[in-house]
Structure 1
Amino acid sequence: MVVKEELCCLGIDYNQVELGTVELAEPISQEQREQLNKNLLKSGLELMDDKKSILIERIKNSIIEIIHYSDEMPKENFSIHLSQKLGYDYTYLSNIFTEVKGLTIQQYIIIHKIEKVKELLLYDELNLSEIAYKLHYSSVAHLSSQFKKVTGVTPSFFKQLKLKRTTNLENL
């Protein structure tokens, strides 16, 4: 909503505004560009001109959308899904992502999957087997191994920490 409001305030015509991208109806002046960037920065957003940066944001947004906001993981591999969604060869996407971010797309996916596991553990509605299935892990052991590698603790220990914090808060 912020982006649309800023575009309207500055009298900039646009065709569409989607997560992370704006399709303008016509080119804008340098003054309008600078003012738009200044206004967006106040809201914690930034204008990107660099095609690589824009592509990186689209990759990140696609991964976050799938892991955190979708009820189901894609049936195909992330590589196929990203390639189809973004319209680029996965090797190209992977090389640019690694060059700019300093980590692979796979590492980025793992980090977000573990964040989702933490969230699901804290909600305490699913057991570890159900979480592993939901996030397409091959086994609970694989999930646990990856969780420990990223966080330094096992999923069950992480869950115990949550219980201890809750108990401590109740005793205050």
Structure 2
Amino acid sequence: MLLHIKNMVCDRCQMIVRQQLENLGFTVKQVALGSAEIAPEPDEEQLQLVSAALKVPGFELINKETDKTVEAIKNAVIELVHHSDLSELNISFSDLIAKRVGKDYAHLSRLFSNAQDTTIERFIIEQKVEKIKELMEYGELNLNEIAYQMGYSSSAHLSTQFKSVTGLTPSQFKASEKAGRKAIDKI
């Protein structure tokens, strides 16, 4: 049975979900961002145990089709922004998301906006800004290098989007002691 799980954003999340399911006695065939395939198929009581076990570390079972699709969109964006080299991206985010989710982008865009009160484009920008904050904290790349790695045409374009989300320029953010990062699953 394929379970759809909310708030899975990284490899550690996948590891924790796998452990929780194995602790309940299930054979875990596969775990990916947003899903886990288990055997044998759980009955209703076991499904409630799975749900409770996943809630402890902050995950949630998804049952509604709309929620599954929204979570698939989020997972596609997170994987692209946080686990890919955007400088090598030769296809638009909209085409990649449509391909990964397997549905028309216009439909996905309307569905996401209605369910999340924000657009996919804004969600992408917010994810990119969090990744930029992370790269700035590491201090290994200058702003031009970060802009290139994140797929921006220039550091000025990056700075404009960064300020629209945070209210600060990248240099103001770096100098501020109060500014901080958000957890990926809280965006």
TM-score tier after normalising by the smaller chain length: 0.7 to 0.9
1:122-164, Cα deviation, whole Å (9 max, x unpaired): 22221221111111112222111111111111112222336xx
Match of 1:157 in 2: 172
Match of 1:4 in 2: 18
Unaligned runs of 5+ in 1: 163-172
Once the two structures are superposed, the pairs formed by residues 17-166 of structure 1 within 5 Å of their partners are 17-25=31-39, 27-73=41-87, 74-161=89-176
1:97-116, Cα deviation, whole Å (9 max, x unpaired): 11111000000000111111
Unaligned runs of 5+ in 2: 1-14, 178-187
Query: TM-score, normalized by length of structure 1?
Result: 0.83
Contact 2:86 2:151 in 1 (8 A): no
| Distance (Å, rounded) in 1 between the aligned partners of 2:112 and 2:103 | 12
Q: 1:133 to 1:32 in 2, by over 3 A?
A: same
Q: 1:9 to 1:133 in 2, by over 3 A?
A: closer
Task: Read off the aligned partner of 2:50 and give its amino acid letter.
Answer: L
Task: Read off the aligned partner of 2:54 and give its amino acid letter.
Answer: L
Match of 2:181 in 1: none
Shift of residue 11 of structure 1? 4.1
> What percent identity do the matched residue pairs reach?
44
Q: Which has the higher contact order (CA 8 A, sep 6+)?
A: 2
Q: Which moved more, 1:57-66 or 1:2-11?
A: 2-11
Contact 1:129 1:140 in 2 (8 A): yes
Q: 1:31 to 1:70 in 2, by over 3 A?
A: same
Structure with greater helix share of residues? 1
Give the SS at the match of 2:30: strand
| Distance (Å, rounded) in 2 between the aligned partners of 1:8 and 1:119 | 32
1:27-81, Cα deviation, whole Å (9 max, x unpaired): 4311111111112112221111111111111211111111112234532110011
Give the SS at the match of 1:65: helix
Match of 2:8 in 1: none
Give the SS at the match of 1:2: helix
Shift of residue 9 of structure 1? 4.0
